[in-house]
Each structure stands twice: as C-alpha cells, then as structure tokens.
Amino acid sequence: MKKVECSVVFGSKIDKIWKFITDNTEYSWRSDLSKIAVSDGGNHFIEYTKDGYQTEFTVTLKIPHERYEFDMKNSNMTGHWTGIFTKVNGRVKITFIEEVEVKKAIMRPFAGIYLKKQQKRYIEDLKKVLGEV
C-alpha cells in the first residue's frame, strides 16, 4: 500500500473550505474533472476525468469542519482518502492523507509520484476557487 500525506494552510473561513471539499454537486472548480455523478444522498459519487476515466467513492466519515473520509476505487487502484481540518492561529490547516493499493504491479513504482501530482493539482484548484493564489 502506498501512502501520501500533505498539509496546507488556508486563510478562508472553514465553512467555505468545507463546502467546496464536501459538496460534490459543485465541481466546476476542479480542473481535472468533466463531471461528478452523486447518489445515496451524497454518500456515493463517481468522478469522471476530462478523458472520461471513472473513480467511484463512498463516504465513510463526515464530521463537519473536522474530518472527511471516503473509500475509492477504479480499475487501477483501491484506497482511502482522509481530510483532517484543524484551526491554527485563525487559519485552517488541512491534512490530506491518501492510501492506495495499486492493482497492476507495473504501476506500483509510480503510484507515489502520481498521488503527489493529484494532491498538488487539487490544492492549486482549491486555492484558486478560494481566491488564495
């Protein structure tokens, strides 16, 4: 299993950050996605990349303004994502933790690089939509 963790501090209000991260009906700020199909009251969703590649997600924990977790799977991997929200000196620190099991052995050496790239893009998109660039 490959684990990648990163943290970022935002100046925006926690309510605003939480909404962007957890409201999967609003995904236009995500530069990597073409759409998200949401079901089961928001507890299940499928993300579609601009190339049409699908990843399925199931929310496993949602504690408002504190913690958001989900399981994920697609044809290449299975895994778990955690977002931990902490208030620090009037700002919001979020720690993103992603753990995946890559299905194809040939892809395993590249998993960490790919995950870090995805996290970086997600954070850049989030900063942009929050006006923190």
Q: For the domain that residue 62 is a member of, what is the CATH number? A: 3.30.530.20
- 92 in any annotated domain: yes
Which residue range is the domain that position 120 belongs to?
A: 2-22+56-130
- 76 in any annotated domain: yes
- 28 in any annotated domain: no
Q: How many other β-carbons are positioned within 10 Å of the β-carbon of residue 78? A: 15
Lookup: tokens for 50: 């601009």
Q: Percent of the chain beyond pLDDT 70?
A: 100
Give me the number of domains the chain comprises.
Answer: 1
- 125 in any annotated domain: yes
- 49 in any annotated domain: no
What mean pLDDT is predicted for residues 42-46?
A: 96
- 30 in any annotated domain: no
Return d(Cα 13, Cα 73) in angstroms, integer. 31
- 82 in any annotated domain: yes
Prediction pTM value: 0.93
- 39 in any annotated domain: no
Report the Cα–Cα distance between both ends of the chain, in Å, rounded. 33
CA distance to 19, 45, 59, 93, 105, per residue, from 63 (Å): 12, 18, 11, 16, 35
**DSSP for residue 7:** E
pLDDT band at residue 133 using 50, 70 and 90 as cut-offs: confident
